[in-house]
Structure 1
Amino acid sequence: MAARAGGAARAAAGAVATGGAAAQAAGGAARVGALAPLGVRIFRWLWIAGLISNIGGWMQTVGAQWFLVEQHASPAVIALVSTASAAPVLLFGIPAGVLGEFANRRLLLIGVQSIQALTALALALLTAAGAMTPVLLLALTFALGTASAVQLPAYQAIVPEIVPTKLIANAASLSSIGVNVARAIGPALAGLTIASLGIPFVFALNAASFAGLLLVLVLWRGYRPPKADREPFFSATRAGLRYVAHAGVVRRLYLQLLLFIVPANALWALLPVLADARLNLDSNGYGLLLAALGVGSIGGAFLIPKLRDAWGTSRLIAATSALYGLGIAGVALSDTLLITLPVLVLVGLAWIGVIATLNGTVQSFLPAWVRTRGLSVYQLVLFGGTALGATVAGALGTSIGVAVTVAGAGGVVVLTAVWLLFRPLLPTTGKSRALAPMPLTDVPPVELPAGPDDAEAVPDAPGDRPPLDPDGSTLVIVRYEIADTDRPRFLELMRRVEQSRRRTGARTWTLYDDREHPGFIVEAFTVGSWREHLSQHRSRTTGYDTEISDAARALSRSAPAVDHLVSIAVPRHPHPSVTAPPTAPVPPTAPVPPIAPDRPTPTVPSTKEETP
């Protein structure tokens, strides 16, 4: 079961599923039969329907690219098929992550799948009528890519909801296998269909392939929407971006992904041109090339977890990146199908090795409360890099030649592997214990209410507090008493505490030296609202965060004192009970005597102050 995308984007989606399995395995998931998740009825039907849908999706990609080849479009235009499929993630990836975090995912998928089916049907009818143009084809491909961008985060998050925890790793592996089986079958089937029935029939089969998945989703009973605490849209978006910005390991992984995906996508964008111009293949031959990539990816889905256990994350990514770079350079320089096919099998294996391992490592460092939003940022980097890489490759292919462009891209990928040897990632990803939600012990709120709706009236001795605004900005102040000998160690720990606070919701963070009380250091941080601060305590703080804060807290010679301040809204207009202060009575003024005609008019002193 995997969301549909196009070209390299769909291949990456399959790797995402493998990465999920890797993440779960890293957390020590129990080893059970590889096919055990198929015993879960709803997963089995979704997996079968998803396989059929992905076969149709791969047929659509081949049909679109070959349509442009037959139109004698330039390499730059042909490469835009990958760009049109991936670019929507740049626009909708982050909002889709927020939507997938809190929405009814089943209804979301039904709606998006329906839109995709209608779009694919329009594509088939327009092509059959002879009204299809390259611009219209790219526009409809962009529409299909937009739908994929909206549904992808929800699709990734739905597997843990339908299979037992111990089967999640195997379910993710099966999802990846389904995507890569579709990649092996879809392109070859598309080539045969184009040769015998034409491109419009390929697009029609893609439209029909949505029917099975739609039927399964509509008939699905017993689905329970996520019960996560809902947040305002923009607040939830900021929280997800804030987490990624202050999670150093996650940022490093995203950078590595970007450095790989931009040059690596040259092969996916320009392979149709290589098949036509260098290997003199027709649509059947092009489908055979994509099938070879699919076979390699299927083998990689089974082999990569074992290699990762043996080599570690950094060495595996470096090795598979180097293999991919050398492989696509070989494909670019080869003019013989007998050489190209086995090399593409190795390239498919290397592709799944890099993308799946990076994604699995990312998932192992993303806590549950922000996982869907964090993965949407991952998709933003992945699909955005895909769109950028396809655009650059197309432009270079037109100007300096396709073979030179792909071979040069392979050299750049090899350089990223060398760079990784000097800047290694973490060798393991086993962080499941540290990512489990744990209560925040170092800054406990005063008498936490039972829920956000109860946050407006928290009792306080001797009387009741004034009403508390749950959406009011919250300032948390923590005072530590630190010995001079412990100060360097404490400051080093507080650097990590700052990152922890910011990851979980702090908007500002400052450390102060109390000049009036020597030996005391004051930490102050603000959170967007009291509700969000409660979320810090209840769901956002992980075991890893708690370990850091406890280590800093242990250096304090006395128990750290904590204060919570919640902002008060100052009224714009005075309350009716508030009256103006009384003014002093004005003494009566003596009557002015009548002025005689022969006397000058007296000057009356002004009661106003003169302006200096």
Structure 2
Amino acid sequence: MVGKHLGTVFGSLSVRNFRLFAAGQLVSVAGTWMMIVAQDWLVLSLSGDSAAALGLVTALQFTPLLLFTLYGGRLADRYDKRLLLTVANLASAALALGLAVLQLTGEARLWHIHLFALALGTVNAVEVPARMAFVGELVGTRLLPNASALSAAYFNTARVAGPALAGLLISALGPGPVMLLNAVSYLAAVAGLRRMRTSELHRSERPGGRGGVLDGLRYVASRPDLLSPTVLVAVVSLAGLNFHLTLPLLAKTVFDADATSFGLLTASFAAGSLLAALAGTGRRGRPPARTVVVSALAFGLLETAAGGAPGFTSAVVLLCLTGFAAIYFAQAANHRIQLGSDPGYRGRVMALYTLILQGSTPVGALLVGLLAEELGARSGLVVGGLVATAAALVALVVERRRRARPARTPDSRPAPGAEVPCPAERET
């Protein structure tokens, strides 16, 4: 029984190409999270603990996602995703190496970090949608939910290990060596990609998809079952998913924590995220809309509570629960959107999902940074949680009204592009 359960949880790892992909990504993402901690700590050190300065760097890193991610999704639909990912990882390694050299030589300035953040965001605009769409090519449709959940699991495993290790290394050696390790970690992802067997990839027989970026947007707009979770993700992401900004501010300005304690706070959030990702590995099909909405509601309530945590220990516990709810919501929305999409549009659909989930960060980071500057670090979490809660409640009302509508008459036909669910996908 235990062996069967483990086989279910780790089913996608039976695919050699996915094992190579996951191993390379685990190392690379751990390095990335180490880099995030080092970069945020350096920005706060150079700016005198300025929330606005940290918000600006975050905005610069995510602004290219707003501008170029949809085009990146079009590239993913048209060209070899493995090649795109290889080039993107090599470019990221070169950028990280450059910033590491500047820091190690004592020449790093805020404007250097601004340029690095902008360049890395441009690379990510291509890498993220290609990576998300590539998972389907690695394992096929049947194992896609499991592979997607395992991808979130290794991502959050790295999120636990990376910040915790970065905190220790920053305390002992400073940010420079951490940045250098991040540059090296990208090579693990490249090695995994190049060792794959291309003959075993599940590529669509229709190369390049259909149409361009606007066609992808029209496709999502014509599908209410895709549009509704996309809008909910947009609101929750804009207001509530700004932990790269709120956590360092909470650690330094509320709890007066050192780098090690900051790493622990971040690792706690990531540990909850990891548990949520593992919980999602048992999913076998497309989740119902209600699952997406209820998980968003739970996230909003928990983030609000975390913002009011009275002490460091309670903050660690509440952030762990918040991390669980955040990833469970994001994964449920991801699976509902991705598993409902035509493979010919999947790169552009996931690019839109990425744009909504991460591209809203520049606006959210600036707004939360200004809010925290005026009202304190706690306000970023409390207001974000309240907005997410309100959005989930509105979505819940809309979903109930949709479910209460009279059934379609035999003579009626679905609108062009609308979903006609199979029995296994119907919500009970």
Q: Give runs of aligned pairs for residues 440-459 of structure 1, distance below 5 A.
A: none
**Aligned twin of 1:127:** 103
**Aligned twin of 1:74:** 50
CA RMSD after TM alignment: 2.9
Q: TM-score, normalised by structure 2?
A: 0.87
Alpha-carbon distance, 1:221 to partner: 4.3
Q: Summarize the Cα distance change of 1:364–1:107 in structure 2 as closer, same or farther, 3 Å threshold.
A: closer
C-alpha distance after superposition, 1:135-173 (max 9, x if no partner): 220220221122122022221222232335543333222
Alpha-carbon distance, 1:305 to partner: 6.9
Q: Which of 410, 414, 421 pairs up with 2:396?
A: 421
C-alpha distance after superposition, 1:234-271 (max 9, x if no partner): x4223212212222222222111112111102443221
**Aligned twin of 2:213:** 237
1:118 aligns with 2:107: no
SS at match of 2:399: coil
Provide the rounded CA distance (Å) in 1 between the counterparts of 2:208 and 2:328: 36
1:359 aligns with 2:329: no
1:257 aligns with 2:233: yes
Are the aligned partners of 2:28 and 2:189 in contact in 1 as well (CA < 8 Å)? Answer: yes
**Aligned twin of 1:395:** 370
Q: Which of 308, 321, 324 pairs up with 2:299?
A: 324
Q: Comparing both structures, which one devotes a greater share of its residues to helix?
A: 2
Q: Summarize the Cα distance change of 1:426–1:91 in structure 2 as closer, same or farther, 3 Å threshold.
A: farther
Are the aligned partners of 2:52 and 2:369 in contact in 1 as well (CA < 8 Å)? Answer: yes
Alpha-carbon distance, 1:31 to partner: 10
Q: Which of 159, 175, 194 pairs up with 1:199?
A: 175
Are the aligned partners of 2:297 and 2:389 in contact in 1 as well (CA < 8 Å)? Answer: yes
Are the aligned partners of 2:69 and 2:351 in contact in 1 as well (CA < 8 Å)? Answer: yes
Provide the rounded CA distance (Å) in 2 between the counterparts of 1:95 and 1:287: 35
Q: Give runs of aligned pairs for residues 152-551 of structure 1, distance below 5 A.
A: 152-163=128-139, 165-223=141-199, 227-230=205-208, 235-303=211-279, 313-424=288-399, 493=413, 496-497=414-415, 499-500=416-417
Q: TM-score, normalised by structure 1?
A: 0.62
Alpha-carbon distance, 1:98 to partner: 0.9
C-alpha distance after superposition, 1:327-346 (max 9, x if no partner): 32333233422111111110
**Aligned twin of 1:54:** 29
Are the aligned partners of 1:314 and 1:426 in contact in 2 as well (CA < 8 Å)? Answer: no
C-alpha distance after superposition, 1:465-496 (max 9, x if no partner): xxxxxxxxxxxxxxxxxxxxxxx997x64xx4
Counterpart amino acid of residue 68 in structure 2: F
Are the aligned partners of 1:326 and 1:411 in contact in 2 as well (CA < 8 Å)? Answer: yes
Counterpart amino acid of residue 147 in structure 2: A
**Aligned twin of 1:139:** 115
Provide the rounded CA distance (Å) in 2 between the counterparts of 1:251 and 1:314: 11
Alpha-carbon distance, 1:184 to partner: 0.7
Higher Cα radius of gyration? 1
Point out where structure 2 has 5 or more consecutive residues left out of the alignment: 404-408, 423-428
The structure 1 segments of at least 4 consecutive aligned residues displaced by more than 6 Å after TM superposition are 305-309, 425-428, 542-545
Q: Summarize the Cα distance change of 1:168–1:357 in structure 2 as closer, same or farther, 3 Å threshold.
A: closer
Q: How many residues align?
A: 409
SS at match of 1:85: helix
Point out where structure 1 has 5 or more consecutive residues left out of the alignment: 1-29, 429-487, 504-541, 546-612
Are the aligned partners of 1:102 and 1:227 in contact in 2 as well (CA < 8 Å)? Answer: no
Are the aligned partners of 1:32 and 1:167 in contact in 2 as well (CA < 8 Å)? Answer: no
Provide the rounded CA distance (Å) in 1 between the counterparts of 2:272 and 2:192: 30
Alpha-carbon distance, 1:211 to partner: 1.3
Alpha-carbon distance, 1:227 to partner: 4.5
Provide the rounded CA distance (Å) in 2 between the counterparts of 1:391 and 1:308: 38
**Aligned twin of 1:438:** none
**Aligned twin of 1:566:** none
